[in-house]
Structure 1
Amino acid sequence: MARSQQTFNKIEKEKARLKKREEKQKKKEARKAEQKSSSKGIQFAYVDAYGNLTDTPPNPEDKIKVDASSIEIGIPKKEDSDIEEVDPVRKGKVSFFDNSKGFGFIIDSENQEKYFCHVSGLIDQIAENDKVSFELERGMKGMNAVKVTLI
């Protein structure tokens, strides 16, 4: 004679599952009833002039009319009065130059910045402590001195 397969624990779990299902069904029905009773329509939220959310619509008289052609997209062009005439030729002193490797450094006399100089950017032969004039060009690791000539 075999024993029953229903244990006390299985029975309790089944009761809890059924109770949970009934509660879920009751909540669902309550939500449906609440939705039918409060059918006011879609609620709106408006944004006022200061960026705050409000429930009142904005006043159409406060609207500002903007001409689409007056909107500039991108960076505004500089006028001739904004551009200063800057001399691209700078003066400096050679702090280090290695002829065998073909590079060196020049210290600008105005701002004491050190700029890299390659042999391909030389017009005259230079050596350490020479006074030179040069122009700057953006390189991969910063500004490079090019068109280097002796003074």
Structure 2
Amino acid sequence: MSEKQAGTVKWFDSRKGYGFITLEDGSKDIFVHYSAIEGDDDDFKTLYDGEKVEFEVVEGDKGLQADHVTVTEKNLQRRRGYRDRGGYF
């Protein structure tokens, strides 16, 4: 088991179930699949751009990927339905 890393969600497509996390030091972007997000198996698992997360980095089939991802700081603006172009939906 690798040690926990900190990072920020760069982007996550909840329809496709994957995205990327930027390491805290900005050195790399790490692939993340929805199945790596910690939580109740019955809950819809997603991440929001800009959320702070902790995770382990593991070697996947196509390179480095995040595992055991937990959100440490939520992006409340995105969770409320704020649009990048302004306004709420």
TM-score (norm 1): 0.41
1:98 is aligned to: 13
Alignment RMSD, CA only? 1.4
Higher helix content, 1 or 2: 1
Greater RCO, CA 8 A, separation 6+: 2
Equivalenced residue count is 65
Amino acid at match of 1:126: L
SS in 2 for 1:110: coil
d(CA) in 2 for partners of 1:147 and 1:110?
A: 19
Q: Does 1:128 align with 2:49?
A: yes
Superposition pairs for residues 45-60 of structure 1, below 5 Å? none
Amino acid at match of 1:106: I
d(CA) in 1 for partners of 2:17 and 2:30?
A: 14
Superposition pairs for residues 1-151 of structure 1, below 5 Å? 88-124=3-39, 125-151=46-72
d(CA) in 2 for partners of 1:122 and 1:130?
A: 13
TM-score (norm 2): 0.68
d(CA) in 2 for partners of 1:137 and 1:129?
A: 22
* Residue 145 of structure 1: how far off its partner (Å): 0.4
SS in 2 for 1:116: strand
* Residue 89 of structure 1: how far off its partner (Å): 0.2
- After superposing on structure 2, the runs of 4+ consecutive aligned residues of structure 1 that deviate more than 2 Å are none
The gaps in structure 1 that reach 5 residues or longer are 1-86
Higher strand content, 1 or 2: 2
d(CA) in 1 for partners of 2:27 and 2:68?
A: 19
Larger Rg: 1
d(CA) in 1 for partners of 2:11 and 2:27?
A: 14
Residues 7-66 of structure 1 deviation map (CA, whole Å, 9 limit, x = unaligned): xxxxxxxxxxxxxxxxxxxxxxxxxxxxxxxxxxxxxxxxxxxxxxxxxxxxxxxxxxxx
Amino acid at match of 1:148: V
d(CA) in 1 for partners of 2:16 and 2:26?
A: 27
Q: Percent identity at matched positions?
A: 34
